[in-house]
């Protein structure tokens, strides 16, 4: 099925992401049924959409009649049968739990027409597993929106083992119709692209702090003011939610082993004490008075090239796993997290040899897997593909 044939959609789960995805679809002319476990949750979600549309009207981005028409395109129900009856696509945004998601996909397989695509907004779980819960794995894929869906430009489209190219093409098209930039995760790897590279970067900073090499304020000041990133790593971890950072970190460790060795002492106690960052008012920083102040004078405390080195290394792993191409990796990091440059572009500019030797120095000093250069990176350097200066690096 092509995306041109998508007219009606169901969104499963009306929480932070589900109501945002529903709003985005409805604003772009699609009729949407939003499904949740009870009517009260659904009414709350619809109120949130109404409030958000009101803001768009206030800012003169849309007219009142567009807001009214958008709301009129949204139905709510607790019944999968009612929601699924005529849909061309269902997008699942229920809690991040594989058993729950498998059950939901089995139900969607029963309640939607045979031609319908079933997509999951999962941040880390296996799309292949969800496909196996259905009789149409070729029509099951990941469609990972970023938060909030109406504002963030990126969508990761994830190919499960059974997903057909036709399904991927339809989701790429649909993402574009929604005004988004899709990148393709060509293999169902954990962490996909953005969370995997961000996970590596967070860990380097957490370990540097834990080893007493720099303060968290010093790391964040260096990352922001010297590196040109929009937030420091501790600030961003707090902003994303330390429970989510913990969960994603756990899955990355289970999948890739010691390359993602968690800095448990740092995160576990905060999560146990329910200090989850911005949303609970405290995490690495105190958020009760707004965004933490990152002192400018500490901007040289941490060597930002260390962040780049592990990010470039993880990009090389993604390429050698045949899960992503450099263009998609760079687009993902720039649109998904507002990095000033993608890791592959950065390596090409700074020199792949420089990145590899930074990693080797760190590996010699700390003997941690996360610093061990990916064989693909070493291969490129040994072939003389050191980046722009050589005419070839990750890019030609
Ligand atoms: N929050 C984020 O920043 C973010 C970003 C990208 C992706 N995601 C992913 O999106 C998904 C949803 O995350 P969220 O933050 O919106 O969660 P959430 O907890 O805010 O919302 C989940 C919703 O699903 C509902 N639900 C639970 N069981 C259900 C069922 N059987 N049928 C229908 N609805 C059910 C819940 O009542 C709740 O309203 C997760 O897979 C998450 O990993 C989250």
For residues 363 and 352, give the distance between their C-alpha atoms in angstroms, rounded to a whole number.
16
Beta strands in the chain (DSSP E): 8-12, 31-35, 74-77, 89-92, 117-120, 140-145, 154-159, 181-185
Half-sphere exposure of 321 toward its Cβ, with a 13 Å CA cutoff? Answer: 20
For residues 214 and 224, give the distance between their C-alpha atoms in angstroms, rounded to a whole number.
15
Distance 235 CA to ligand 1 centre (A): 23
57: left (phi > 0), else alpha (psi -120 to 50), else beta?
alpha
Q: Does any ligand 1 atom lie closer than 6 A to the CB of residue 313?
A: no
- Give me the residues paired with residue 181 across strands: 154
Residue with tokens 């609970």, as numbered in its chain: 280
Residue of 95, 142, 149, 156 to mutate, ligand 1, most atoms within 8 A of C-beta:
95
Q: Let me know: does 48 contact 70? Beta carbons within 8 Å.
A: no
Question: Residue 289 has what pLDDT?
Answer: 93
Distance 95 CA to ligand 1 centre (A): 4
Whole-structure pTM value: 0.95
Q: Does any ligand 1 atom lie closer than 6 A to the CB of residue 42?
A: no
User: Could you list the active site residues?
Assistant: 123, 144, 156, 195
pLDDT tens for the chain, 396 residues: list them: 665 678 999 999 999 999 999 999 999 999 999 999 999 999 999 999 999 999 999 999 999 999 999 999 999 999 999 999 999 999 999 999 999 999 999 999 999 999 999 999 999 999 999 999 999 999 999 999 999 999 999 999 999 999 999 999 999 999 999 999 999 999 999 999 999 999 999 999 999 999 999 999 999 999 999 999 999 999 999 999 999 999 999 999 999 999 999 999 899 999 999 999 999 999 999 999 999 999 999 999 999 999 999 999 999 999 999 999 999 999 999 999 999 999 999 999 999 999 999 999 999 999 999 999 999 999 999 999 999 999 999 999
Distances from the Cα of 215 to the Cαs of 212, 224, 275, 300, in angstroms?
A: 7, 14, 19, 11
Q: Does any ligand 1 atom lie closer than 6 A to the CB of residue 155?
A: no
Distance 97 CA to ligand 1 centre (A): 10
Residue with tokens 């291969």, as numbered in its chain: 379
For 153-208, give the DSSP string: -EEEEEE-TT--HHHHHHHHHHHHHTT-EEEEE-S--TTTTHHHHHHHHHHHHHHH
Question: Residue 5 has what pLDDT?
Answer: 74
Cα angle for residues 214, 218, 223 (degrees, 5° grid): 110
Question: Residue 6 has what pLDDT?
Answer: 85
Helix axes 304-320, 375-382, angle to 10 degrees: 100
Q: Does any ligand 1 atom lie closer than 6 A to the CB of residue 44?
A: no
Residue with tokens 């993402």, as numbered in its chain: 175
Nearest CA to ligand 1 atom 25: 13
Residue of 10, 11, 12, 18 to mutate, ligand 1, most atoms within 8 A of C-beta:
18
Q: Does any ligand 1 atom lie closer than 6 A to the CB of residue 362?
A: no
Residue of 81, 94, 143 to mutate, ligand 1, most atoms within 8 A of C-beta:
94
Distances from the Cα of 197 to the Cαs of 28, 75, 142, 163, 308, in angstroms?
A: 31, 38, 18, 24, 10
For residues 55 and 49, give the distance between their C-alpha atoms in angstroms, rounded to a whole number.
10
Q: Work out which ligand 1 atom sits closest to the CA atom of 120.
A: 41
Nearest CA to ligand 1 atom 2: 147
- Residue 382 burial (CB < 10 Å; 0-12/13-18/19+)? exposed
For residues 131 and 92, give the distance between their C-alpha atoms in angstroms, rounded to a whole number.
12
Distance 232 CA to ligand 1 centre (A): 27
Q: State CA 143 to chain mean position distance.
A: 10
């Amino acid at each position: 099925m092509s995306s041109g044939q998508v007219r009606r959609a169901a969104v499963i789960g009306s929480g932070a992401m589900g109501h945002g995805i529903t709003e985005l679809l409805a604003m772009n002319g699609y009729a949407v049924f939003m499904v949740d476990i009870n009517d009260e949750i659904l009414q709350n979600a619809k109120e949130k959409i109404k409030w958000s549309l009101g803001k768009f009207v206030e800012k003169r981005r849309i007219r009142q009649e567009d807001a009214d028409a958008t709301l009129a395109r949204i139905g709510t129900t607790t019944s999968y049968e009612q929601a699924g009856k005529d849909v061309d696509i269902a997008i699942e945004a229920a809690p991040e739990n594989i058993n729950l998601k498998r059950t939901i996909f089995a139900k969607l397989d029963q309640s939607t027409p045979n031609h319908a695509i079933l997509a999951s907004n999962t941040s880390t779980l296996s799309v292949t597993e969800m496909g196996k819960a259905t009789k149409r794995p070729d029509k099951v894929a990941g469609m990972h929106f970023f938060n909030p869906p109406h504002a963030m430009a990126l969508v990761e489209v994830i190919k499960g083992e059974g997903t057909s190219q036709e399904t991927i093409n339809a989701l790429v098209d649909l993402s574009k119709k929604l005004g988004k930039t899709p990148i393709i995760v060509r293999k169902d790897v954990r962490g996909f692209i953005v969370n995997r590279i961000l996970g590596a970067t967070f860990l380097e900073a957490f370990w540097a702090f834990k080893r007493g090499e720099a303060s968290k304020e010093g790391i964040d000041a260096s990352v922001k003011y010297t590196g040109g990133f929009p937030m420091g790593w501790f600030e961003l971890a707090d902003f994303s939610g330390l429970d989510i950072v913990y969960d994603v970190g756990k899955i990355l460790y289970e999948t890739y082993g010691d390359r993602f060795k968690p800095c448990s002492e740092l995160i576990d106690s905060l999560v146990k004490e329910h200090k989850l960052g911005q949303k609970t008012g405290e995490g690495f920083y105190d958020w009760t008075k707004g965004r933490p102040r990152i002192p400018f004078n500490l901007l040289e405390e941490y060597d930002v090239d260390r962040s780049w080195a592990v990010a470039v290394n993880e990009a090389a792993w993604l390429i050698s796993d045949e899960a992503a191409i450099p263009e998609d990796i760079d687009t993902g990091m720039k649109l998904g997290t507002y990095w000033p440059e993608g890791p592959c572009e950065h390596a090409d500019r700074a020199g792949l040899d420089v990145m590899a030797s930074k990693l080797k120095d760190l590996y010699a000093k700390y003997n941690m897997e996360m610093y061990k250069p990916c064989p693909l990176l070493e291969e490129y350097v040994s072939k003389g593909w050191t980046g722009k200066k050589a005419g070839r690096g990750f890019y030609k």
